């Protein structure tokens, strides 16, 4: 009892030092809060709760929310609630949040025994029903706060503007602030009767540029209170829409580039292998699938089995998917491909069979759908301007592609291995005569090509699910990249990969995805009329038959 | 020597398919399902003939035959569905139920000609032919060949598959066209009609086979084989290679379309799943497995693979893709000439006599 009284004093002192009427109000609230925690008689708690519910002061919302969640405790006499629990040193400890007068987390995590639970009966909790819609205004989760702001729009409560203003004063999250302000301006705009004010609010809405501003202004332009301000709203809607159109285009351009980078990663290996050995590897897409499943396995191994809770698994997966896919490629080369050199049509059919087997195997091992958790450091995006966010995962894919393409270039044009690969590509027999071990070069090239596809698969897990036939979605596209780029040419794969990825996204924004695909095919056929051997054909006059 | 043996084979086939199976069906030994099943296999064999003509004899790997097959199938299916249509459009013209479900107001214009059976058949042949003509013209004109041809046709098959999958193309979307009731006033579910379609498919296969043998033995066919063996040399000897290729591309497309037309009423459903890339590749594989460059091989391959498929999917449902995949690999790696080639080798070794390797086609047989 003594202890509680001390707290009382502390609370009274800390609040009492405030100013004027607000301080007095806070004062009376503090008294009610204390009464809730420790009621002097049977009815005092219900009375206090009724008072708090009627006041609708955002400062008390965390406390009321904790009561509503049946998670109100006291710690040294102060009202607290618990957050996420976790096990540390064999004991379960919780994050503790102080609720009143300030809403803030405690410095240390505490076990549940150190907290005293405050039991509040159901009938007492029911008193809070009138404030329930507003409790989330002070939630710790910005998403919940945004939802709470949104709910205020339709709330039938005269004090809601004042309440919202109070809540917004404490708002720290920029996204939630924008959403809250939007609601505030909307409410004010709908209430005001003066043209001057209405225009000012429309301007504020426009500058605030929240999620629904277009809709709000459009509604106002049609049936706003102030008839003379309607045209102004319509004008703003128009300028907003054109701005949004431009942003959408930029977004499309960006996703086109990232789709293009994936195509490049796949087509690079394909182009090198085809140029070198005349192999059409229909199972190339399945190495993509293997890379993706390697990432998935690494994630389960590191996170679930070894308990490493960090993004380490992703950094391990990158080389692992390269190596695993490469080794599979090597095995395939030894078993099947080696017998099919320079017989492209036969290799196409045989590798198609291989791809059937691999897809079916993956399906029977992993089932139909698995997802890889995107690593935390790639969550979110780079905000260039409001509403134009470049997701980090796509940026990462683009970056990865740039690195991989540069490495491949260095490998092909600046290393001994590269000179051998190019020699065998140009003239296999001559290279063999000059002492190049063509079989070994073939095997290494196949390893590298499959590894590149595996890497692409690892990158794919960042933007999509892992399914057994994920490779087949990309294989035809990536062959088109090889065809338009010219066989065995890095530059060809890059230019046509970017071009096709880019065109796909641009056409998709005009037409449905399907018609975009048909149009691209038509464009490629037309393009091949003029450049039948791709963008960068081999120079030379070797007879074709 | 070879002719006599061939004659024995043909006699066996005719006895089995033309006499024993239909008779068994009439007498009740052979179920209607089996009859329909074999009727469908014959349709596949007709497609395979086309694939063999274009790939086995001309060396062009076309990976979109299933698309032409479905063009034929859809045209007949559209006619049948229109005849069974119960929903009424705004203008009073009946339209298929799925359109009513999709809130379509009246029959789309391109469905209208399919109300007549004759027009449906003509369009079912004309559309694939025109498609092959236009697409083939642009492809062969720019001398796309070999692997490039395979990839481009594969992309075509993929794109068309995606288009047929859409609901707004008014072709039934993913579900395809189904619920077939009558064709030319005959109920498709009666055993008699099933047997009739079976015999019609068999007859068509026979005619297609006979015409194809004529074709490959003609001068035209010889030029095709010359193109396969060396395209440049053929063009140096003043043959217009492109015209030959275009012609055979159209012939193959027509064969596929005819097969599709016979196929749809026997299955009772046609969906875009029949025309995806895999379906086309499988068609090529029938020919490869049976024996590429031999018309008999194409028929043999398509019948055997499909028969195997029916058995495997009922016995071990999950294993079919494994079996098919291994068949692909083993055939390509070890049996370059397919089953027929293997059979000939075995026969030659057993009989300890050497046969000339070329000219495996049975040209004398099937003539009246």
pLDDT per residue over B176-211, tens digit each? 887 777 777 777 777 778 888 888 999 999 899 999
More confident residue, B71 or B14: B71
A129, A257, A385 from A250: Cα distances, Å: 47, 11, 12
Distance CA A221, CA A232 (A): 8
Contacts of A305 (CB under 8 A, 6+ apart): none
Region B132-151: mean pLDDT is 84
The pLDDT, as a whole number, for residue A176 is 77
Q: Which of left, alpha, beta for A159 (phi over 0: left; psi -120 to 50: alpha)?
A: alpha
| Least confident piece of the model among A376-390, B52-66, B75-89 | A376-390
Q: Which residues of A touch B277 (CB under 8 A)?
A: 472, 476
Are the Cβ atoms of B321 and A517 closer than 8 angstroms?
no
Q: What is the pLDDT of residues A204-224, one digit of tens each?
A: 777 777 777 777 777 777 777
- Virtual CA dihedral for A405, A407, A409, A414, nearest 10 degrees? 180
Alpha-helical regions (H) of A415-534: 416-426, 428-433, 438-460, 470-485, 490-510, 513-530
Q: What is the pLDDT of residues A471-484, one digit of tens each?
A: 887 888 888 888 88
Q: Which of B309, B258, B299, B249 is nearest to B279 (CA)?
A: B309
Answer whether A525's CB lies under 8 Å from B148's CB: no
| Least confident piece of the model among A85-89, B106-110, B143-147, B351-355 | B351-355
Region A291-320: mean pLDDT is 83
* Confidence tier at A290 by pLDDT (50, 70, 90): very high
A:B CB pairs within 8 Å: 121
Are the Cβ atoms of A353 and B326 closer than 8 angstroms?
yes
The pLDDT, as a whole number, for residue A58 is 76
Element (H, E) at A96: strand A91-98
β-pairing verdict for A91-98 and A104-105: antiparallel
Smallest Cα distance from A344 to chain B, Å: 6
Nearest CA in chain A to B141: A529
Regarding pTM above 0.80, the answer is: no
Are the Cβ atoms of A336 and B139 closer than 8 angstroms?
no
Q: Say whether pLDDT at A299 is over 60.
A: yes
Q: Say whether pLDDT at A469 is over 70.
A: yes
Q: Which residues of B touch A346 (CB under 8 A)?
A: 332, 336
E-assigned strand segments in B122-229:
177-178, 182-183, 186-187
Q: Which residues of B touch A266 (CB under 8 A)?
A: none
> Can you spell out the DSSP letters for A174-232?
HHHHHHHHHHHHHHHHHH---HHHHHHHHHHHHHH--TTHHHHHHHHHHH-SSHHHHHH
Q: What is the pLDDT of residues B294-311, one digit of tens each?
A: 888 888 889 888 888 888
* Domains observed in chain A: 2-131 (no CATH), 160-225 (no CATH), 247-377+391-530 (1.10.3470)
Chosen from B132, B141, B158 to mutate, greatest number of chain A CBs within 10 A: B158
The pLDDT, as a whole number, for residue A24 is 61
Domain ranges in chain B are 2-277
Region A481-500: mean pLDDT is 80
The ipTM, to two decimals, is: 0.81
Distance CA A85, CA B320 (A): 50
Helices A20-37 and A61-68: crossing angle, nearest 10°?
A: 20
> Can you spell out the DSSP letters for A324-376?
HHHHHHHHHHHHTGGGGTT-HHHHHHHHHHHHHHHHHHHHHHH-S-B-PPPPG
Smallest Cα distance from B136 to chain A, Å: 11
Provide the percentage of residues in chain A whose pLDDT is more than 70.
91
Query: How crowded is residue B360: how many other Cβ atoms within 10 Å of its Cβ?
Result: 19
More confident residue, A235 or B73: B73
Are the Cβ atoms of B144 and A532 closer than 8 angstroms?
yes
Nearest beta carbon to residue B322 from set A350, A360, A526: A360
The pLDDT, as a whole number, for residue B252 is 93
The pLDDT, as a whole number, for residue A541 is 54
> Can you spell out the DSSP letters for B236-283?
HTT--HHHHHHHHHHHHHHHHHHHHHHHHHHHSEE-GGGGSHHHHHHH
Answer whether B304's CB lies under 8 Å from B340's CB: no
More confident residue, B323 or A85: B323
- Computed over every residue of chain A, the mean pLDDT equals 80
Q: Which two tokens stand for residue B46?
A: 């007709």
The three state secondary structure string of A388-449 is EEEEHHHHHHHHHHHHHHHHHHHHHHHCHHHHHHHHHHHCHHHHHHCCCCHHHHHHHHHHHH
Supply φ then ψ for residue A342, to 5 degrees: 65, 20
Smallest Cα distance from A313 to chain B, Å: 32
Distance CA B61, CA A193 (A): 75
Query: How crowded is residue A9: how many other Cβ atoms within 10 Å of its Cβ?
Result: 11
The pLDDT, as a whole number, for residue A19 is 46
The pLDDT, as a whole number, for residue B352 is 66
Question: Residue B13, exposed/middle/buried by CB under 10 A (0-12, 13-18, 19+)?
Answer: middle
The pLDDT, as a whole number, for residue A25 is 63
The pLDDT, as a whole number, for residue A1 is 47
């Amino acid at each position: 009892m003594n202890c509680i009284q001390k707290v009382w004093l502390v609370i009274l002192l800390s609040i009492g030092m405030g100013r004027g009427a607000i301080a007095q109000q806070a004062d009376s609230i503090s008294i009610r809060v204390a009464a809730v925690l420790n009621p002097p008689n049977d009815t005092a708690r219900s009375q206090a709760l009724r008072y708090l519910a009627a006041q609708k002061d955002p400062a008390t919302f965390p406390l009321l929310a904790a009561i509503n969640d049946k998670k109100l405790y006291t710690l040294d006499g102060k009202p607290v609630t618990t957050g996420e629990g976790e096990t540390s040193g064999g004991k379960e400890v919780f994050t503790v949040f102080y609720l009143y007068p300030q809403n803030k987390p405690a410095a240390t995590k505490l076990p549940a025994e150190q907290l005293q639970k405050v039991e509040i009966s159901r009938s007492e909790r029911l008193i809070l029903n009138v404030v329930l819609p507003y409790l989330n205004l002070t939630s710790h989760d910005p998403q919940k706060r945004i939802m709470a702001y949104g709910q205020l729009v339709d709330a039938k409560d005269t004090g809601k503007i004042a309440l919202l203003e109070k809540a917004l004063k404490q708002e720290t999250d920029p996204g939630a602030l924008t959403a809250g302000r939007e609601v505030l301006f909307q409410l004010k705009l709908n209430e005001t009767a003066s043209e001057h004010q209405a225009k000012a609010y429309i301007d504020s809405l426009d500058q605030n540029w929240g999620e629904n501003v277009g809709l709000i202004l459009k509604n106002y332009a049609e049936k706003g209170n102030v008839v003379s301000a309607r045209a102004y709203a319509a004008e703003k809607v128009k300028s907003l829409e054109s701005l949004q159109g431009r942003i959408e285009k930029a977004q499309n351009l960006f996703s086109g580039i990232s789709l293009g980078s994936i195509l490049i990663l796949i087509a690079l290996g394909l182009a090198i292998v085809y140029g070198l050995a005349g192999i059409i590897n229909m199972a190339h897409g399945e190495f993509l699938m293997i890379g993706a499943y390697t990432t998935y396995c690494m994630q389960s191994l590191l996170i679930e089995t070894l308990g490493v809770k960090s993004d380490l698994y992703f950094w391990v997966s990158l080389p692992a998917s390269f190596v695993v896919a490469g080794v599979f490629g090597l095995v395939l080369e030894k078993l099947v491909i080696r017998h099919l050199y320079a017989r492209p049509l036969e290799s196409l059919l045989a590798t198609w069979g291989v791809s059937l087997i691999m897809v079916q195997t993956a399906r029977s091992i992993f089932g139909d759908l698995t997802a890889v958790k995107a690593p935390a450091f790639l969550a979110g995006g780079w905000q260039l301007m409001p509403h134009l966010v470049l997701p980090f995962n796509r940026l990462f894919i683009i970056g990865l592609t740039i690195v991989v393409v540069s490495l491949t270039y260095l490998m092909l044009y600046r290393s001994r291995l590269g000179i051998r690969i190019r020699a065998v590509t140009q003239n296999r027999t001559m290279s063999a005569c000059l002492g190049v071990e063509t079989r070994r070069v073939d095997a290494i090239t196949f390893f590298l090509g499959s590894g590149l596809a595996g890497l692409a698969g690892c990158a794919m897990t960042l933007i999509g699910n892992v399914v057994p036939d994920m490779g087949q979605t990309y294989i035809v596209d990536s062959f088109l990249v090889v065809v338009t780029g010219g066989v065995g040419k890095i530059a060809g794969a890059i230019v046509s990969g970017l071009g096709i990825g880019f065109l796909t996204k641009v056409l998709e924004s005009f037409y449905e995805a399907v018609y975009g695909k048909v149009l691209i095919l038509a464009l490629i056929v037309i393009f091949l009329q003029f450049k039948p051997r791709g963008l960068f054909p081999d120079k030379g006059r070797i007879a074709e038959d | 020597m070879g002719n006599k043996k061939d004659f024995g084979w043909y006699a066996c086939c005719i006895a089995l398919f033309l006499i024993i199976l239909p008779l068994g069906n009439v007498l009740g030994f052979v179920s209607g399902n089996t009859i329909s099943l074999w009727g469908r296999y014959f349709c596949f064999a007709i497609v395979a003939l086309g694939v063999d003509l274009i790939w086995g004899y001309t060396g062009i790997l076309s990976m979109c035959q299933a698309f032409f097959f479905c063009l034929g199938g859809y045209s007949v299916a559209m006619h049948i569905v229109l005849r069974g249509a119960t929903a009424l459009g705004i203008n009073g013209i009946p339209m298929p139920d799925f359109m009513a479900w999709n809130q379509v107001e009246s029959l789309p214009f391109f469905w209208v000609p399919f109300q007549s059976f004759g027009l449906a058949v003509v369009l079912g042949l004309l559309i694939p032919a025109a498609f092959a003509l236009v697409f083939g013209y642009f492809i062969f004109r720019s001398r796309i060949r070999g692997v490039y041809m395979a990839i481009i046709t594969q992309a075509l098959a993929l794109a068309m598959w995606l288009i047929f999958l859409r609901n707004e193309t008014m072709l039934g979307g993913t579900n395809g066209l189904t619920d077939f009731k009558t064709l030319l006033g005959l109920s498709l579910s009666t055993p008699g009609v099933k047997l009739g379609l079976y015999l019609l498919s068999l007859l068509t296969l026979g005619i297609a086979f006979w015409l194809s043998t004529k074709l490959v033995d003609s001068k035209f066919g010889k030029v095709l084989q010359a193109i396969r063996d060396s395209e440049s040399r053929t063009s140096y000897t003043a043959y217009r290679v492109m015209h030959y290729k275009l012609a055979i591309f159209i012939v193959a497309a027509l064969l596929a379309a005819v097969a599709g037309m016979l196929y749809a009423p026997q299955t009772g459903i046609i969906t875009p799943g029949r025309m995806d890339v895999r379906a086309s590749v499988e068609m090529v594989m029938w020919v490869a497995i049976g024996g590429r460059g031999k018309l008999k091989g194409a028929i043999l391959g398509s019948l055997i693979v499909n028969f195997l498929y029916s058995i495997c999917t009922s016995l071990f449902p999950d294993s079919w893709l494994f079996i098919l995949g291994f068949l692909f690999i083993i055939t390509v790696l070890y049996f370059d000439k397919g089953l027929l080639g293997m059979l000939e080798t075995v026969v030659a070794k057993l009989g300890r006599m050497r046969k000339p390797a070329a000219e495996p086609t049975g040209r004398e047989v099937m003539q009246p």
